[in-house]
């Protein structure tokens, strides 16, 4: 990947003159079945650009209460777009049309205007669970019936496609805007993209500039993303197998609580019994070379990726069991 970056042809992307960025945008748009795409530095910026383009200040966005947009983007939708969120509380990370319908505001002057429905697929904090295509189709129909826009946070859409067999284009066609990441599953050091109609991307380019995301010779970064698309998508199945193997190994530990039905892609989230906090436990494990993320007082997240082998998984599982299986 680094050699590919070194050899990348570059130009000034602010003027649309970087050939490698242009190629990445064309390839991404084609993969997603959209008219156009735009390279952005991060998934957070991609999500926030889409929100800004698809809404007006004072509007309301409907999404899952545990979504990345609400919890892990530093309140950006409020600060950058003047949009408030209306959360849907689901137990498994999968929104339904019925649950969303109940939260769509009546057209009354003293209510904020329901404007945008956002989904996350796969869903990070639901353990990488995949939203089934029929569910998405129902939500898309609901949005059309109520003249609402739709956005897909597809940071892990590559994983959803690998696990379900549904193409990324089939998922994407139900949304007005889509964001995908190259810096997670595909191993690029930097980069995401958003996609939609040509007119949407034209406006998104302007907003990207406002948000400080315009770059010059960005082909060096885009090359890494193209390499990931060409070489690393086929490795995602191994990530999923490793996640299931990890979950299977640690699920039998007496102090670990884990629902194997929720392990569908590359994320394993488990709870545990014991006196230590998740921060303390994760620090202990990090000192031994196992990096986990605390996501609650007694809740921990593990993510598999292309740099983690089956042997690594087995070594990590043994240390996790030893850490959490103490009295």
Quick: pLDDT tens for 6-28. 999 999 999 999 999 999 999 99
DSSP string, 157-207: HHHHHHHH---HHHHHTT-SEEEEESSSTT--SS-EEEEE-HHHHHHHHHH
Quick: pLDDT tens for 27-71. 999 999 999 999 999 999 999 999 999 999 999 999 999 999 999
Residue spans per domain, the chain: 2-230, 235-324
**pLDDT (average), residues 207-235:** 97
Measured in degrees and rounded to the nearest 5, phi and psi for residue 219 equal -60, -25
Confidence band (pLDDT; 50, 70, 90) for 327? low
Measured in degrees and rounded to the nearest 5, phi and psi for residue 316 equal -65, -45
**49: closest CA among 219, 206, 172?**
206
Percent of the residues in the chain that have a pLDDT greater than 70, as a whole number:
99
CA 125 to each of CA 71, 276, 302, 327: distance values in angstroms, whole numbers, following the listed order: 10, 22, 11, 28
**pLDDT (average), residues 268-285:** 92
Position 292 pLDDT exceeds 60: yes
Percent of the residues in the chain that have a pLDDT greater than 90, as a whole number:
94
Confidence band (pLDDT; 50, 70, 90) for 90? confident
pLDDT confidence of residue 218: 97
User: Cα torsion for 231, 26, 37, 205, to the nearest 10°?
Assistant: 120
**pLDDT (average), residues 139-164:** 98
Position 97 pLDDT exceeds 70: yes
**pLDDT (average), residues 318-324:** 91
pLDDT confidence of residue 92: 86
Position 272 pLDDT exceeds 60: yes
Distance CA 189, CA 11 (A): 20
pLDDT confidence of residue 18: 98
235-324: CATH topology:
3.90.1150
Domain at 2-230: CATH code? 3.40.640.10
pLDDT confidence of residue 91: 78
| Strand 267-272, strand 192-196: pairing | unpaired
**pLDDT (average), residues 286-315:** 95
Question: Which CB contacts under 8 angstroms, 24+ apart, belong to 10-13?
Answer: 10/217, 10/218, 10/219, 10/220, 11/217, 11/219, 12/216, 12/217, 13/39, 13/214, 13/215, 13/216, 13/217, 13/218, 13/219
What is the CB neighbour count within 10 angstroms for residue 60? 18
Q: Among 61-70, 87-96, 264-273, name the one with the lowest average pLDDT.
A: 87-96
| Strand 293-296, strand 59-64: pairing | unpaired
pLDDT confidence of residue 274: 85
Distance CA 280, CA 277 (A): 5
**Structure tokens of 172?**
């994407």
Position 202 pLDDT exceeds 60: yes
Position 326 pLDDT exceeds 80: no
């Amino acid at each position: 990947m680094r050699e590919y970056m070194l050899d990348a042809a570059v130009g000034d992307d602010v003027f649309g003159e970087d050939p490698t960025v242009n190629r990445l945008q064309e390839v991404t748009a084609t993969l997603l079945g959209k008219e156009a795409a735009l390279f952005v530095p991060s998934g957070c910026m991609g999500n926030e650009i889409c929100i800004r383009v698809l809404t007006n200040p004072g509007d309301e966005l409907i999404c899952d209460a545990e979504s990345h947009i609400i919890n892990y983007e530093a309140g950006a939708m409020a600060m950058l777009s003047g949009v408030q969120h209306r959360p849907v509380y689901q137990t498994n990370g999968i929104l339904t049309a019925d649950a969303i319908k109940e939260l769509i505001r009546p057209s009354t002057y003293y209510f904020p205007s329901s404007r945008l429905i956002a989904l996350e697929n796969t869903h990070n904090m639901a353990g990488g669970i995949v939203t089934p295509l029929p569910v998405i189709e129902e939500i898309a129909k609901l949005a059309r019936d109520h003249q609402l826009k739709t956005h897909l946070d597809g940071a892990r859409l590559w994983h959803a496609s690998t696990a379900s067999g549904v193409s990324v284009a089939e998922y994407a066609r139900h949304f007005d805007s889509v964001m995908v990441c190259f810096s997670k599953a595909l191993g690029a050091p930097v980069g995401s993209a958003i996609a939609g109609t040509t007119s949407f991307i034209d406006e998104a380019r302007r907003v990207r500039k406002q948000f400080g995301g315009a770059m010059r010779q960005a082909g060096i970064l885009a090359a890494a993303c193209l390499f990931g698309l060409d070489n690393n998508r086929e490795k995602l199945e191994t990530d999923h197998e490793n996640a299931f193997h990890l979950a299977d190994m640690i699920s039998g530990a007496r102090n670990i609580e884990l629902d194997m039905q929720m392990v569908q892609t590359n994320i394993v989230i488990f709870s545990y019994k014991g006196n230590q906090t998740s921060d303390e436990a994760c620090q202990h494990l990090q000192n031994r070379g196992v990096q986990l993320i605390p996501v609650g007082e007694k809740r921990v997240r593990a993510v598999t990726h292309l740099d983690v082998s089956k042997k690594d998984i087995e070594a990590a599982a043994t240390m996790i069991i030893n850490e959490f299986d103490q009295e």
